[in-house]
């Protein structure tokens, strides 16, 4: 039986990590921990191997945590009014947790781990947390477990990113891609893999005509406003375009990535099964 400690004041020092300044930090800021909100995302956090510092539930919501606790962690309960004062807004999800922020894996580890043909995603400069979370959720659904994070990409452990990903971020392997211009061509050359960018260039290969052989591929997604930079497009092994109709000339980056991931994953899995 897990014991829940009843707290009465938002100023309790044990709740410092939940304070509103942490929830409203700038997109590029990082801390030693991160906050997860909502029963479903907290449950996925507890199912992962991440180090969880504590769980906080609103008074009267204790029943929500009893069914998902699978490890011994401090659990605190706080009156609803005090939670509002703590986080700085009306909090209706009833449960949140604080966990240690892990270091991203190195590209050396990535090279050691890719053995069979697979699809990986590289996120380069996506600044909207909703897009990063959506792409991660799609990746998990399609069995794409490796994500390379380039410079100026939104925090994968921001509460909004986690919520949009529905906690699937905890099931993915995240790698730091610090110098995409140098690292991506090197990976392609040494491991015989394809680096794929989507573009609006009409001379690019239509997605339906692009075929992976028994090779791994890295699908590269770029900034929401600017797309994949010219530099990255030049060093990519392949450029593909998604044909569009009815006067549509562009797609949201998360939508475009989902379309490409579905196509590439299906054809790679099909060819690998042959």
Instruction: For the chain, give the secondary structure using H, E and C.
Output: CCCEEECCCCCCHHHHHHCHHHHCCCCCCCCCEEEEECHHHHHHHHHCCCCEEEEEEECCCHHHHHCCCCCCCCEEEECHHHHHHHHCCCCCCCEEEEEECCCCECHHHHHHHCCCCCEEEEECCCCCHHHHHHHHHHHHHCCCCEEEECCCCCCCCCHHHHHHHCCHHHHCEEEECCCHHHHHHHHHHHHCCEEEEECCCCCCEEHHHCCCCCCCEEEEECECCCECCHHHHHHCCEEEECCCCCCCCCCCHHHHHHHHHHHHHHHHHHHHHC
Rounded mean pLDDT, 23-30: 56
Q: Write down the pLDDT at residue 271.
A: 44
270, exposed or middle or buried, with CB in 10 Å at 0-12, 13-18, 19+? exposed
Question: Dihedrals φ, ψ of 222, to 5°?
Answer: -110, -175
Residue among 260, 192, 268 at smallest CA distance from 228: 260
In DSSP terms, 227 is beta-bridged to 223
Whether 240 and 145 map to the same domain: the answer is yes
> What is the pLDDT of the chain when averaged over all its residues?
89
Whether 86 and 127 map to the same domain: the answer is no
Domain end (from 68, 100, 132): 100
Whether 89 and 203 map to the same domain: the answer is no
Please write the tens of the pLDDT for every residue from 117-128.
899 999 999 999
Whether 111 and 71 map to the same domain: the answer is no
CATH number at residue 90: 3.30.1330.30
Rounded mean pLDDT, 244-256: 91
Predicted confidence band of residue 272 (pLDDT cuts 50, 70, 90) = very low
Query: Which region among 32-41, 156-165, 264-273 has the lowest average model confidence (pLDDT)?
Result: 264-273
Q: Write down the pLDDT at residue 30.
A: 63
Whether 93 and 121 map to the same domain: the answer is no
Rounded Cα gap, residues 80 and 24, in angstroms: 20
Domain end (from 71, 100, 129): 100
Angle at 256 between CA 168 and CA 235, to 5 degrees: 100
| Residue numbers of the domain that contains 34 | 4-100
Whether 75 and 32 map to the same domain: the answer is yes
Whether 20 and 112 map to the same domain: the answer is no
166: left (phi over 0), alpha (psi -120 to 50) or beta: left
Whether 230 and 124 map to the same domain: the answer is yes
Q: Write down the pLDDT at residue 273.
A: 45
Whether 150 and 255 map to the same domain: the answer is yes
Q: How many CB atoms lie within 10 A of CB 31?
A: 13
pTM (2 decimals)? 0.91
Tell which wins on pLDDT, 233 or 21: 233
Percentage of the chain lying above the pLDDT 90 cut: 71
Whether 185 and 86 map to the same domain: the answer is no
Whether 116 and 152 map to the same domain: the answer is yes
Domain end (from 47, 82, 100): 100
Residue 2 has pLDDT above 90, yes or no: no
Rounded mean pLDDT, 242-253: 90
Whether 224 and 192 map to the same domain: the answer is yes
CA 230 to the chain's CA centroid:
25
Tell which wins on pLDDT, 235 or 92: 235
CATH number at residue 146: 3.40.1280.10
Provide the number of structural domains found in the chain.
2
Q: Write down the pLDDT at residue 26.
A: 55
260, exposed or middle or buried, with CB in 10 Å at 0-12, 13-18, 19+? buried
Q: Write down the pLDDT at residue 274.
A: 39
Please write the tens of the pLDDT for every residue from 148-192.
999 999 999 999 999 999 999 999 999 999 999 999 999 999 998
């Amino acid at each position: 039986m897990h014991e829940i400690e009843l707290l009465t004041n938002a100023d309790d020092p044990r709740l410092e990590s939940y304070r509103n300044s942490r929830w409203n930090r700038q997109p590029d800021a990082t801390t030693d921990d991160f906050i997860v909100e909502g029963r479903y995302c907290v449950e996925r956090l507890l199912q992962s191997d991440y180090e969880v510092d504590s769980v906080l539930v609103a008074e009267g919501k204790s029943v929500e945590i009893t069914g998902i606790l699978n490890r011994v962690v401090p659990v605190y309960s706080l009156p609803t009014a005090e939670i509002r004062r703590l986080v700085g807004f009306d909090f209706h999800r009833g449960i949140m947790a604080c966990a240690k922020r892990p270091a991203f894996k190195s590209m050396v580890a990535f090279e050691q781990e890719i053995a069979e043909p697979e699809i990986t995603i590289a996120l380069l400069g996506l600044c909207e947390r909703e897009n990063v979370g959506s792409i991660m959720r799609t990746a998990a659904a399609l069995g794409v477990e490796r994500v390379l994070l380039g410079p100026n990409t939104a925090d994968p452990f921001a509460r909004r990113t986690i919520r949009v990903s529905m906690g699937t971020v905890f099931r993915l392997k995240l790698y730091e891609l610090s110098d995409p211009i140098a690292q991506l061509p090197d990976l392609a050359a040494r491991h015989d893999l394809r680096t794929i960018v989507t573009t609006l260039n009409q001379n690019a290969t239509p997605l339906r005509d692009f075929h992976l052989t028994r090779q791994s591929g890295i699908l590269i997604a770029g900034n929401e406003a600017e797309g994949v930079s010219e530099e990255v497009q030049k060093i990519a092994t392949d450029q593909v375009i998604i044909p569009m109709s009815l006067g549509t000339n562009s797609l949201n980056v998360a939508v475009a990535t989902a379309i490409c991931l579905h196509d590439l994953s299906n054809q790679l899995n099909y060819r690998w099964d042959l």
